[in-house]
Amino acid sequence: MTQPSLLEIKNALNQFDHKKRSETIKSITDRLTRGELQVEDQKEAFNLHCHTFYSYNAESYSPSGLAWLAKQRGLRALGIIDFDTLDGVSEFLDACDLLAVRGSAGIETRIFVPEYASHEFNSPGEPGVCYHIGIGFTSSLPAPEAAATLADLHRRAEQRNRDMMARINAHLVNLDVNYDRDVLPLTPAGNATERHMLSAYIQAVNLQQANPLLFWANVLGTTPDLVQVVFDNPAKLQNLIRSRLMKRGGVGYVQPGPDTFPSLQEVNRLIIACGAIPCYGWLDGTSSGEQNLEELLNFLISTGIGTINIIPDRNWNINDAEQRRIKVEKLHEVVRLAQKLDLPINVGTEMNSPGQKWVDDFDAAEMAPLYPAFSDGAYFIYGHTMLQRALGLGYQSEWARAHMPTRHERNSFYTRVGRLLPPGMLGIQKLKLLTANHSPAEISARL
């Protein structure tokens, strides 16, 4: 019988049928064991911030699809982070076990920070509003005490989407787009984002309008010639439409306030209850909230933040020379500060917008000096994830706090464990030989 091609494997892994994805991963594992599939040698590269199709991936990758991408391309580690859902966590980590990939999983949402209500953070034009992350989750099932908050994140997000669509539809009177009919089918589990809505609008225009180019020119208030420039570039077209319809100043946009999103403390409780680690999503250091970054980070640390997330590519891969100089300087500054404040760094490309890289260029001159700090962060979150999954001895555990009362001690320990542990089931098997009766020093020695 002819075996599926790599393209057929990719397509099977990224369809909405969970059973089919699971069967495909097991088939891949068997073929790897028999030497029927070739993968690239492991390299010093990783991507710890990839959205899956549970919140939106620009290439429609599922959790299993991303685990296979990491294996196929020889990534040292890969982490998923989805908006307002943990749906992909268990599938991804299970796939990583089978494929022998170092994996981590997280969640991203938006919060309101009343203590900084007059400052912008990482959500431009929205004072007090902050994109907030938790990393190091080990299951799609939340802790019982976190279930209500997680459900509320989803409820709030869906209501914002429906309200936005109602405003946009009132403006696009010659277009028929329905949230239940046209948006939700684009998702595997009903967790739609603005980008799913954007895809639905673009599809509807292509199907319902005789001249999509002219339609968008009229809607966007520009000329067909200017739309034509971006029309054949999905990334530029989506960004243009999104900026005019959904972002600040657009017909679908409403300025958020204190009641739009949950509080920092509420979301931190969810993250910590699940044994994961709250993480600040640094943007670029230029907003009013990030200009005095040490003060901001110290405040966030006092609320439970233990890590920091960076999207490096947007902070150095810039055409404008002066902007590039400023952003690179800020990038190096935040890495130095994170190390000073004992905040492990989680880096990645997001993969939720067309054109974003599947992995960062760590060899770039602007990136190479930062690689050791980024690498430590990758091993840190892997070490925490594996110990939490196997023994319940992760970063937030009572065992960790009793044996290692300072964040510096815990950071060093979990980074060391991450470096010592092999990926996949072999790593789990090694940890299963240990217990909570072992001290951190004993665990390190035995590994």
pLDDT tens per residue, range 199-239: 999 999 999 999 999 999 999 888 888 888 888 888 888 88
Percent above pLDDT 90 for the chain = 91
Q: Residue 421 is encoded by which pair of tokens? A: 């542990």
Number of independent structural domains in the chain: 2
- Residue at 369 is within a domain: yes
Question: Do residues 181 and 222 both lie within one domain?
Answer: yes
Assess if residue 266 is contained within a domain: no
One domain for residues 225 and 297: no
What pLDDT is stored for residue 320 in this prediction?
A: 96
Q: Evaluate whether residue 313 is within a structural domain.
A: yes
Residues 162, 138 share a domain: no
Q: What is the pLDDT of residue 222?
A: 85
pLDDT at residue 72 in the model = 97
- Residue 361 maps to a domain: yes
Co-location of 293 and 431 in the same domain: yes
What is the rounded average pLDDT of the residues 305-327? 97
Say if residue 172 is in the same domain as residue 284. Answer: no
- Tokens representing residue 407 in the block: 């964040």
What's the whole-number average pLDDT of the chain? 95
Pairing of strands 129-135, 77-83: unpaired
Burial of 249 (0-12, 13-18, 19+ CB in 10 A): exposed
Q: What is the pTM of this model?
A: 0.95
The answer to whether 52 and 89 are in contact (CB under 8 A) is: no
Q: Domain with 282 in it: what CATH number? A: 3.20.20.140
Q: Provide mean pLDDT across the span 125-148.
A: 97
Q: What is the pLDDT of residue 239?
A: 87
Query: 1: pLDDT confidence band, cut at 50, 70 and 90?
Result: low
119 in the same domain as 77: yes
Q: Which residues constitute the domain of residue 96?
A: 6-142+274-446
Going across the sheet that includes 277-281, the strands are 46-50, 77-83, 103-112, 129-135, 277-281, 307-310, 345-347
State the pLDDT confidence band at 4, using cuts at 50, 70 and 90: confident
Which band of pLDDT confidence, cut at 50, 70 and 90, is reported for residue 393? Answer: very high
251 lies in some domain: no
Residue 225 and residue 116 share a domain: no
Kindly state whether residues 205 and 229 are assigned to the same domain: yes
- 139-195 residue pLDDT tens: 999 999 999 999 999 999 999 999 999 999 999 988 999 999 999 999 999 999 999
- For residue 257, being part of any structural domain is answered with no
* Same domain membership, residue 183 and residue 109: no
Tokens of 53: 């199709």
Is residue 335 a contact partner of residue 40, using CB atoms and an 8 Å limit? no
What is the arithmetic mean of pLDDT over 93-120?
A: 97
Q: Please tell me the predicted confidence (pLDDT) of residue 188.
A: 97
Q: Are residues 361 and 406 in the same domain?
A: yes
Please tell me the predicted confidence (pLDDT) of residue 265. Answer: 96
For 110-119, what is each residue's pLDDT tens digit? 999 999 999 9
Question: DSSP assignment of 150-191, as one string?
Answer: HHHHHHHHHHHHHHHHHHHHHH-TT----IIIIIGGGSSSS-
In a domain, 255, yes or no: no
- Is 34 among the domain residues? yes
Question: Is 49 a residue whose pLDDT tops 80?
Answer: yes
In degrees and rounded to multiples of 5, residue 161 shows phi and psi of -65, -45
Let me know whether 226 and 187 are in one domain: yes
Residues 197 and 62 in one domain: no
